Each structure stands twice: as C-alpha cells, then as structure tokens.
A and B are shown apart, each in its own frame.
Chain A
Amino acid sequence: DAKTTQPTSMDCAEGRAANLPCNHSTISGNEYVYWYRQIHSQGPQYIIHGLKNNETNEMASLIITEDRKSSTLILPHATLRDTAVYYCIAIGGNAGNMLTFGGGTRLMVKP
C-alpha cells in the first residue's frame, strides 16, 4: 500500500470549512484513497473513499487531483464534534485488507 503524508495538526474555526490535505505520490492505479477519523478514546469511523473521481457524502467531500498524487478531505461546515484525528489511507481495491494507519492529522475545531 502506498505511503501517505499528512500534516500533524490543523485548526479550524467552527462553522468554517476544514480542508485536510494528504499526499500519496506513490499511489498505484488500483489503490483507493480512504479517510477515517478517530475521536478521542473511540474506535475509528469511516468517512469517505474514492479512486479518481471526486466524491461527496453526508459527512464530507473528497477531492482527488488528476494525477492522483494528493487529495483533500473537506468538511464543509466544521463543528466542535469534528475535532478528531483524521487518517488518510491508500489501499488496494479490496478494502477488506488490513489498514495501515499513519500519524494522521489532529484537527482542532475551535469556537
């Protein structure tokens, strides 16, 4: 699975959009980009995933660059409850395979 690089931490004002970047420059053609988040002392929660097209669901939007070497997770209107560690993971088409977690980005949403 391709290695991903994320900033260690980010702050965001409540109500504003949170844009979390992820670099995955060695991603291969059949690897998806998955985003999970972990709120303190809880198990990780799936957010969204994509291959090459931009994706949107009720939680977030995922923007993948045309060369697929990077992506951005967008939380359109961040709330205090979105404060968590966000993990970007690039894995093969079979998401049932094990997930390798990097350091993630610690997002702090402030009032």
Chain B
Amino acid sequence: GAVVSQHPSWVICKSGTSVKIECRSLDFQATTMFWYRQFPKQSLMLMATSNEGSKATYEQGVEKDKFLINHASLTLSTLTVTSAHPEDSSFYICSAPLRLADEQFFGPGTRLTVL
C-alpha cells in the first residue's frame, strides 16, 4: 500500500515554542491531506483539511492562526503549532487518500509534549 510518513515522531518543547510537523506521501501524490489530533484514550478528531495550492479548511473550534497548515507540494503538508502550550500536547496524525475514491493512508503520528 501507499506510504505516508511524518516527521518528527516525537517532540518535546517549552511553552511558547512553535513546532512544525511534516506529513509526506512517499510514493504517491496527494492533493488533499487531513490532520487529526488525538488525546490520550480518546478517538481521533479531525482538525483540518489541507489542500495543495489553496487554503486549508478548518473544523469548527480549531484556531487557524494557532495551527498553521501549508500544503506547498503534492507530497508535503506541514502543520505548525504556534506558541505551543501544555494543552496542545497531543498525538497529531495526518492522512492522505491515494485517489479520491480510495481508502486513506495514515502517517505514524507525531507525539507533541509541551512542558
């Protein structure tokens, strides 16, 4: 199957730091990618839809100025958590469909810990 990677796998930072998470489709192109957040023992919650060449679409309650998304190429989407605070500590996961009618492939996730 198609492969989606994320970098870094785990990041620990101080409060107030901005953290960038990369999501790459390694062997296919993705015009659309999705960003999810998962708190401990909870399900995944969609944060935003990343669209190549255009602005991301954010879910209700997700601050677009806090979580900056850039989908600059067909294989890379980045999520930047600006001025991170301890409550932003979570597991961030991206996904991309191989084709619009296919199942989605998920990255391995990035664990963010804000001290």
Contacts and interface: CB of A to CB of B under 8 A. Distances in A.
B44 A44 contact: yes
Interface stretch (B12-20, B67-75, B80-88, B100-108): B100-108
B46 interface: yes
Contact of A99 (B100, B104, B108, B111): B104
A40 to B, nearest CB: 10
A42 B107 CA distance: 8
Indicate the member of B6, B97, B99, B106 with the most A CB atoms within 10 Å.
B106
Given A41-B111, A46-B1, A94 B100 contact: yes
Contacts of B93: 43-44
B79 to A, nearest CB: 14
B26 interface: no
Nearest to B103: A46
Interface string A81-94: 00001010000011
Interface residues of A, number: 23
A104 B102 CA distance: 21
A45 B106 CA distance: 7
Given A43-B93, A85-B43, A101-B45, 15 more contacts: A38-B44, A41-B91, A43-B107, A44-B44, A44-B93, A49-B103, A93-B101, A94-B100, A95-B102, A95-B104, A96-B32, A96-B99, A96-B102, A98-B46, A99-B95
Interface of B: 1, 4, 6, 32, 34, 36, 43-46, 49, 91, 93, 95, 97, 99-109, 111
Interface of A: 34, 36, 38, 41-46, 49, 85, 87, 93-96, 98-104
21 contacts: A41-B91, A41-B109, A41-B111, A42-B108, A43-B6, A43-B93, A44-B106, A46-B104, A49-B103, A87-B43, A94-B100, A95-B103, A96-B32, A96-B100, A98-B34, A98-B49, A99-B44, A101-B36, A101-B43, A101-B45, A104-B43
